[in-house]
Amino acid sequence: MKKLPFLLATVIASLALVGIADTMDQKVRKVQFKTERLPLPGEGRGDYLLVDEASNRLFVTHTTTVHVLDLKTLGVIGQVTKLNKAAGVAVASGKGFVTDAGGNQIVVFDPASGATIKTIRGGQKPDSIFFDQASGMVFVFNGESRDVSVVDPRKAEIVKTIAVGEAPEAARNDGKGRAYVNLGDEGAIAVIDTRKGELIGKYALTGCESPAALGVDAVHGRLFSSCENKVMKVLEAATGRIVATVPVGEDPDGIIYDAVHRRVIVSGRDGAWTIIDQISPDVYRVNSTYAIDPYSKTIAQDTRTGRIFSSTADLIWPPIVPGKKHLPDAKSGTFRLMVISER
């Protein structure tokens, strides 16, 4: 009878060791991705991409064009053409909306074919754009006029303009009546009540230089803002409290939150994405970096399959001009869609 407690203790200790081993294994298990490259016609580099799961389409902006692809097969089914500089895309009320930053306009198009329906003149240098489920409106963020155009998608008309004070960068909404947008020059996040169409506050991004990309975890109420000084700030969406600072790559420009894997992925221009594990809403850990083609800088995800999309081209670097940001040109005929999936 005396052996029973000893045997029981041995079993418990063994189980504990298994648990520790599992935990250690989880800590060192690195995410493994693979990349496929799909050539797309046209010149120049791309900007935002949009996955529209409802219509089973992928929209890829590309200088003067928006490529409309079948989300499942990635076959091209249409194009929006004759844009000056395509930036972002939203879909609502059976229509597509693309911000033409070079033409200071919003082009309304048929999302099935890409045929232009209407052109809306709005703010200066429209960039980020999304459809907000809570208000039923499309929000367009204008970099030079430093404001937000609220578009009624049924009428395809601007119904309100919201001043934000500084040049807005990437913007996201939570689907619950709040929208958030990085203000790069101010180092802050502007908060908008989408139902009222009003700016209701700003969150200071202490220790963040030139915030650009923005991601949202609507389930846990967290915001992810990338900074030019190679960090990502994690904020409590309800209060703006900074709960974590995580190192990321150079010049980060895209963020997605993968709710299935509780993972944040930060894309940048340096050819190395940062993969971050969400341990808890306030605790984050860099899992790994993923080597990818340089300037695969913006990202979108199909949440049903987990596939991630980006775009880039072979780069040609012109001579440096003092006082001007050094940006590359694209080698002719090299633009491509990047399709990233987990091994």
Sorted by sequence, the CB contacts under 8 Å of residue 37 that are 6+ apart come out as 293, 336, 337, 338, 339
Residues 247-257 as b/e (b if ≥16 CB within 10 A, e otherwise) read: ebbebbbbbbb
Percent of the chain with pLDDT over 70: 92
The yes-or-no verdict on residue 327 having pLDDT over 70 is yes
> For the chain, what's the residue count?
343
Task: Note the pLDDT of residue 323.
Answer: 85
Residues 238 and 146 in one domain: no
Strands 308-312 and 315-316, bridge-based pairing: unpaired
Per-residue pLDDT tens over the stretch 169-199: 999 999 999 999 999 999 999 999 999 999 9
Q: What is the mean pLDDT of residues 265-277?
A: 96
Closest among 95, 107, 106 to 52, alpha carbons compared: 95
Count the neighbouring beta carbons within 10 Å of the beta carbon of residue 263.
17
The yes-or-no verdict on residue 114 having pLDDT over 90 is yes
Boundary (domain end) residue, out of 204, 227, 247: 204
User: Residue 198 is which amino acid?
Assistant: E
Residues 180 and 233 in one domain: no
**Would 308 be classed as within a structural domain?**
no
Boundary (domain end) residue, out of 145, 179, 204: 204
The yes-or-no verdict on residue 1 having pLDDT over 80 is no
| Token pair in block for residue 319 | 């001579």
Residues 134 and 258 in one domain: no
| Token pair in block for residue 141 | 């963020």
**Would 183 be classed as within a structural domain?**
yes
Q: What is the mean pLDDT of residues 125-142?
A: 98
CA–CA dist 303, 280 (Å, integer): 21
CA–CA dist 255, 113 (Å, integer): 29
Residues 139 and 233 in one domain: no
Task: Note the pLDDT of residue 325.
Answer: 81
Residue 114's domain spans which residues? 34-204
Task: Give the chain's domain count.
Answer: 2
CA–CA dist 139, 260 (Å, integer): 27
The yes-or-no verdict on residue 232 having pLDDT over 70 is yes
**Would 342 be classed as within a structural domain?**
no
Q: What is the CA radius of gyration of the chain?
A: 22
Q: Which long-range contacts (CB under 8 A, 24 or more apart) does 231-240 make?
A: 231/207, 232/264, 232/266, 232/274, 232/276, 233/205, 233/207, 233/208, 234/282, 234/284, 235/189, 235/203, 235/205, 237/174, 237/178, 237/180, 240/189, 240/191, 240/201, 240/202, 240/203, 240/204
Q: Give the H or E element holding residue 14.
A: helix 3-28
Residues 197 and 268 in one domain: no
| Token pair in block for residue 82 | 């004759």
**Would 341 be classed as within a structural domain?**
no
Q: Helix/strand/coil (H, E, C) string of 204-229? A: ECCCCCCCCCEEEECCCCEEEEEECC
Per-residue pLDDT tens over the stretch 63-98: 999 999 999 999 999 999 999 999 999 999 999 999
The enclosing domain of 121 has a CATH number of 2.130.10.10
3-state helix, strand, coil in the chain (%, to 5): 10, 50, 40
> Cα 281 from chain centroid?
19
- Whole-prediction pTM: 0.90
The enclosing domain of 272 has a CATH number of 2.40.128.630
